[in-house]
Amino acid sequence: MYQPAITGSGVFTPSEVITNDELVVAFNAYAEAFNAQNAEAIAAGEVEAKAPSSSEFILGASGIEQRYVMDKSGVLDPAVMHPNLRQRSDDEPGIMAEMAVDACAKALAQAGRRADEVDLVICAASNHERAYPAIAIEIQQLLGAGGFAFDMNVACSSATFGIQAAADMIRAGSVRRALVVNPEICSGHLEWRDRDCHFIFGDVCTAVLIERAEDAMGAHFVIRSTRCVTQFSNNIRNNNGFLRRNRPDGMADRRDMQFMQEGRKVFKEVLPMVSAHILDHLASDGVTADDLRRLWLHQANKTMNDFIGKKVLGRVAEPGEQPNILQDYANTSSAGSIIAFSKCSDDLAPGDRGLICSFGAGYSVGSVLVERA
């Protein structure tokens, strides 16, 4: 049995930014046009008028101030309200693979490794741009990695589930070095015309390199243990899929073909589940909350993270103890906790312990207990 360790991490950040103010201008223009077009039906009580959004509402509801996206022109066009991504030929790299190569290159550089030393690539993300061939195999080819590759989808928990899968294979000796990469184009499945959620998501790609601790060439994080759990719920859902065209009205502009969430139910059910999961994980390893230097949580909502941090630590987290990056990146699904880890981990000293945790649709929760070495 070998000891797995995270030896490198990388983040690809899109070049385009949408601030809350920009988003509100676009949404309110759409809402005003909708209300004008449906004025008679609204007056008759047949259609509900669209309420305006505001930057104050967005910040108070989520803690988000801006988000990075692959394309802002379409999102900010009231007549479009979704990203405009060009059609690529089958001979070109896919957009998710292109993002992934950048993040993987940064993780490899941090670890001092070459791509041809990698023998496993897992593309773990909440959405994939095609069913097959696997995005992971395309990334493998573009990088020049060896071994094998596969895709994984556990929604917002995909990164931690991918880390567990890779760590288990390294521990067992079936692979020596693995890249777990999380390309998330969340702007593509968000309904930007829905006031309740139009501000939630952004785009990004993260990657971590996992290898045997004995092979590490510099400072690294030993993976002490991992834990995953799932419990079925419909409260976070996207009904899009390959059977869509085969069903009545399957190709209609249906709201449930984008991100759907029963926010209040998710808040009520997920927070106790995540808090209990983390505390059980720590207890099973003989670790107390006081032993943790850092919590890198899924970046969905500041209030949710504050609740979980207080429940796990038994107090309000001190500055830097539970870093939030969603004010800049928004919710980036599976990549959020890895962004926080990548950007807020260099200051830890040998022996310091921390926990990466992601949670979301499923419901699913994954946690990774690490120690600086």
Q: Amino acid identity of 164?
A: Q
Indicate the Cα dihedral angle 159, 164, 166, 168, nearest 10°: 180
Q: Please determine, for residue 350, whether its predicted confidence score (pLDDT) is greater than 90.
A: yes
User: What pLDDT does 222 receive?
Assistant: 98
**In the predicted model, is pLDDT for residue 256 greater than 90?**
no
**Which two three-digit tokens encode residue 340?**
């926080």
Mean pLDDT, residues 325-352 taken together: 97
- Structure pTM? 0.95
**63 falls within a domain:** no
The reply to whether 309 falls in a domain is yes
Task: Return the pLDDT at 78.
Answer: 97
Whether 302 is covered by a domain: the verdict is yes
| Model confidence at 286: pLDDT above 90 | yes
Q: What was the pLDDT predicted at 265?
A: 93
Q: Evaluate whether residue 194 is within a structural domain.
A: no
Q: What is the 3-state secondary structure (H, E, C) of 44-59?
A: CCCCCCCCCCCHHHHH
The 10 Å CB-count burial string (b at 16+, else e) for 97-109 is: bbbbbbbbebbbe
Model confidence band, residue 142 (pLDDT cutoffs 50, 70, 90)? very high
Q: At what angle do helices 336-343 and 158-172 cross, to 10 degrees?
A: 70
Number of domains in the chain: 1
Q: Is the pLDDT of residue 130 over 90?
A: yes
Which are the contacts of 323, defined by CB distance < 8 A and separation ≥ 6? 294, 296, 340, 343, 344
What is the DSSP-derived secondary structure letter of residue 307? Answer: H
Residues in Cβ contact with 262 at an 8 Å cutoff, skipping those fewer than 6 apart = 234, 235, 236
- The pLDDT tens digits of the residues spanning 267-280 come to 899 999 999 999 99
Whether 199 is in a domain gets the answer no
Please report whether residue 367 resides in a domain: yes
d(CA 271, CA 311): 9
Comparing 39-48, 138-147, 181-190, 238-247, which segment has the lowest mean pLDDT? 238-247
What proportion of the chain, given as a percentage, has pLDDT over 70?
100
Would you please indicate which residues are annotated as catalytic (active-site) residues?
156
Range with the poorest average pLDDT among 107-116, 139-148, 251-260, 331-340? 251-260
Inside any domain, residue 315: yes
DSSP string, 150-165: EEE-BTBTHHHHHHHH
> Residues near 63 by Cβ (< 8 Å), separated by ≥ 6?
301, 302, 303, 324, 326, 327
* pLDDT score of 117: 98
Task: Give me 190's structure tokens.
Answer: 């968000």
Indicate whether 314 belongs to any domain: yes
CATH number for position 243:
3.40.47.10
State the DSSP H helix or E strand holding residue 201, giving kind and residue range, or none if neither: none
* pLDDT per position as a tens digit, 146-198: 999 999 999 999 999 999 999 999 999 999 999 999 999 999 999 999 999 99
- pLDDT value of position 254: 86
Q: Is the pLDDT of residue 250 over 90?
A: no
What Rg, from alpha-carbon coordinates, does the chain have?
A: 21
Predicted local distance difference test score (pLDDT) of residue 112? 98
Give start and end residues of each alpha helix (H) in the chain: 20-37, 39-43, 55-62, 95-111, 135-143, 158-172, 263-284, 302-313, 326-329, 336-343
Closest CA to 277 of 314, 234, 308, 306: 308
The pLDDT of residue 46: 96
Q: Measured at the alpha carbon of residue 184, what is the angle toward residues 181 and 185, in degrees to the nearest 5?
A: 150
Average pLDDT, the chain: 96
pLDDT computed for residue 293 by the predictor: 96
Domain ranges, residue 320: 221-372
Residue 361 binned pLDDT confidence (cut-offs 50, 70, 90) = very high
Q: How confident is the model at residue 251, as a pLDDT? A: 86
Q: Determine the pLDDT at residue 253.
A: 85
